[in-house]
Structure 1
Amino acid sequence: MKKLLAKVNTKKAVSYLAIVLVLAMGGFLLHNTGSWAAMQNNPQVTSDSKVSVEVRKAETMTIRPFMSYDATLLSGEEGVVGADVPGKVVQILFSEGDIVKKGTSLIVLDSQDMNDQLKGAQAQLAAVQATLPKAEANVQISQRNFNNAKALYEAGAVSANDLSDAETGLKVAQADLAALQANISAAQSGIDRLEHNMANLVIKAPMDGVVEDKNVAIGQYAGPGAPLAMIKDTSTIQAVIKIAQEDAVKIQAGQKAQVRVSGDTQVYEGTVSYVSTTASMASRTFTAKVEVPNPGKRLKPGSYANVNLVSGTEVSALTIPLRSVAGSKGSYYVFTAENGVARRTAVTLGATYNDRIEVQSGLTDGADVICTNINSLQDGDQISIAEPLTEQTSEAAAEQGE
């Protein structure tokens, strides 16, 4: 009986083991089937994936060399609005941003004190002038007395002392008249000066332009020389650049220039108006100014700009897009597309021409140069060449994005 039970238990154990194995195998297959399906629905990047890039040709072009500089834009001309005479501000006749003409009244200073001074000076002048007829009469009388004494002396009728006394009287009368006339002249000069200062109590625009940098308030004391505002003429703009020592000999007044400002697609034509003859001791650079007509007032003083100075005649040069270049000075490189593979190529670069740059060595005319994803590419990467977006496809993409 025990043997029979043992056999039965053994058979049950084998059956249970078989069931467990079947279930385990089913789970394994189910798991792997699900994983395979997931891989089919969600493919991952594999080692043989390709990088999508845009390609442009290296082209030999006829170009005109130029030198490029960063610049700061300044007003073509600036004038300081300031007081010539001290006084308290009682009126402000402008707002910042006003366009004014030369001679426009801008600020009025208190005139009370100067009015009082002027009245006092005029009264003093009148008092001095009142004594003038008497002094002139004294000179005439003294002159007659001297003439008579001289005639009598020559006739032997009076002594030499009498003649000397008459002469002294004449000189005293003449000196008194001269002193009086000097006092009158001084008093008149004082009045003229006060009247001139009175006129300067109204501060006027020194030039045509726009009023900026307002620095004045009612009740403020304005001292001579203190800037109360600025007048800026922006009909012409000056682009100020710093020139390296080795380039200074290449730039001269009258040279043509092109000026560009960030955010503005317009190219502004200008002319070099000034080149310093002495280098800065601190930076060892020379200063040059480019005069740029600004009729539309689109160029703003204080802005940064880029100035290209045309230098030399037209030349033929191999060029590539500027955006295709990677690396740093002395170790520039590009990637070329060769049979579906990116190849890193060292290049020697020359001058920049707008959005292209000269290649002096490393490439040949017609080479396919990669212009996108260059910072993530490695030599030997598999690539696929994407067609560049045309204007039409760009607009379509923009509409889809909206």
Structure 2
Amino acid sequence: MRNSTQWSGFFMSVVLSLSLASCGDSKPAGPQAPPPTPVDVYTVMAGNATYYDSYPGTATPLNQVDIKPQVAGNIIGIYFKDGQEVKKGMKLYEIDQQQYKAAVESAIAQLNVARANLAKSQQDADRYEDLAKQDAIAKQTLDHQRADLESAKRQVEAAQANVASVETNLKYSVIYAPFNGTIGISQVKVGTSVYPQTLLNSVSTDDPMAVDIAIDQAEIPKFTHYFSQKAKDSLFTAVLPDGSIYGYPGTLYLLDRSVDPTTGTLKARITFPNPKNELKAGLTTNVRVKHDAGDSSLLIPYKAVIDQLGESFVFVVENGHALQHKVTLGTKIADKIVIRSGLKAGEQVVINGVQKLRDSSAVAIGAPKAPAGSAGK
């Protein structure tokens, strides 16, 4: 019994020693790094891109005039239909002329009286001149007659000016179209009493029609260059409110003289032929400006772009990691978008798996995707 117990204790000691030795050699397992995120990438390449920059605009006549009377009176005649096309010199409105005709007749009568007085003064002056040569009258009498003659002349001039004034008022009692165009809806009816500066109507030109847009001050050199491209038919096109493309191309007419300091924008005016009168004054439209970048544009799939707090980013793969790059976007073309800054040709941007990434995430790249030819229009 004693020997059996000794051998049993010895055996347990050996087992315990081996167990402790085995535990001493093992180390606790640490946290494992997450596997790389699988992604698809797109190789950035410079390409030929043709696209349109769009600017909201408002149609406006090149020439528009408010019709207002220069004299007071009652409207006795309206000689057009609302919305009618009018020709320069066409009679539009007539104001009661009775008082102005009477004023003209009275002024002419006063002029005739002044002329008669002038004739009498001239005769007296001539007679006194002859008597003075004979020393038959006093010099003072001759001087007084000369003064009366000058006064009579001035009275004639004043009467002539008065006739011209009342004749002008008579002429203003009839209002004519100032140029060819379209007249609007009359603001007065026959019998209405009007005064100077009462708005009667408006006349505007129709063909061509202008569309005004606001451009950023940074675009002024580009638009200045467009003046040399007036012959390019497709440079400026208009999109109507129903989404259709207006059938006639436009031409850059002018750039305003100054930049609006509150918005940093400059007004540009584009003119369009308007033979069918489709462009109406005040019509809201969009002007498309064709941009042909040749072989200098960088385009990437739009799904690669991440928008955060008003800024745009993409993930660029470098040395097995996805690095976040801030980019400046241009115009969207189908499923792609122009990159103005932030990327270089040859870089690889993530297009699938973007949502799983953070800056500097490890990635595993699938087969890189490159552009299949030039960018679409």
TM-score for both structures, normalised by structure 1: 0.62
Q: Which residue of 2 aligns with 1:3?
A: none
Alpha carbons of 1:241 and 1:322: their partners in 2 closer, same or farther (altered >3 Å)? farther
CA–CA distance in structure 2, aligned partners of residues 233 and 61 of structure 1: 44
Matches within 5 A, 1:207-222: 207-222=179-194
165, 178, 195: which one pairs with 1:223?
195
Which residue is 2:24 aligned to?
none
Q: Percent identity?
A: 24
Q: Which amino acid aligns with 1:270?
A: G
* Matched residue type, 2:210: Q
Name the SS for the 2:200 alignment partner.
strand
Letter in 2 for 1:72: T
CA RMSD of superposed structures (Å)? 3.8
Question: Which residue, 139, 146, 149 being the options, matches 1:177?
Answer: 149
SS of match in other structure, 2:134: helix
Cα distance in structure 2, aligned partners of 1:292 and 1:347 = 39
Q: Which has the higher helix share?
A: 1
Kindly tell me the number of residue pairs found equivalent between the two proteins: 292
CA contact (8 A) 2:237 2:246 kept: no
Task: Describe the shift of the 1:354–1:171 C-alpha distance in structure 2 as closer, same or farther (beyond 3 A).
Answer: farther
- Indicate conservation of the 8 Å contact 1:80/1:206, yes or no: no
Equivalent position of 1:258 in the other structure = 237
Residue 99 of structure 1 deviates from its aligned partner by 0.4
Residue 356 to residue 212, structure 1, CA distance change in 2 (3 Å) = farther
SS in 2 for 1:273: strand
Deviation at 1:203, TM superposition (A): 0.5
Give the match for residue 218 of structure 2: 246
Offset, 1:171: 2.0
> Paired residue for 2:311, among 311, 330, 340?
330
Deviation at 1:236, TM superposition (A): 1.2
Amino acid in structure 1 at the alignment position of 2:110: Q
Q: Match of 1:269, SS?
A: coil
Aligned amino acid, residue 238 of structure 2:
V
Are residues 317 and 134 of structure 1, via their aligned partners in 2, closer, same or farther at CA, if it must alter by over 3 Å?
closer
- What is the identity, as a one-letter code, of the residue corresponding to 1:113? Q
| 1:99-114 alignment, distance < 5 Å | 99-114=85-100
8 A Cα contact 2:301 2:337, kept in partner: no
Amino acid corresponding to residue 330 of structure 1 in structure 2: E
Write the distance in 2 (CA, Å) between the matches of 1:311 and 1:171: 85
SS of aligned partner of 1:234: coil
Tell me how far 1:262 sits from its aligned partner.
2.6
Partners of 2:74 and 2:306 lie apart in 1 by 63
Which consecutive residues of structure 1, in runs of 5 or more, have no partner in the other structure? 1-57, 150-161, 334-345, 371-377, 380-402
The higher-RCO structure (CA 8 Å, 6+ apart) is 2
Letter in 2 for 1:181: K
Q: What secondary structure is seen at the aligned counterpart in 1 of 2:236?
A: strand
Q: Where in structure 2 are the equivalents of 1:1-400 lying within 5 Å?
A: 62-64=48-50, 66-149=52-135, 166-252=138-224, 254=227, 256-263=235-242, 264-266=244-246, 268-310=248-290, 313-315=293-295, 317=297, 329-331=310-312, 350-352=329-331, 357-360=336-339
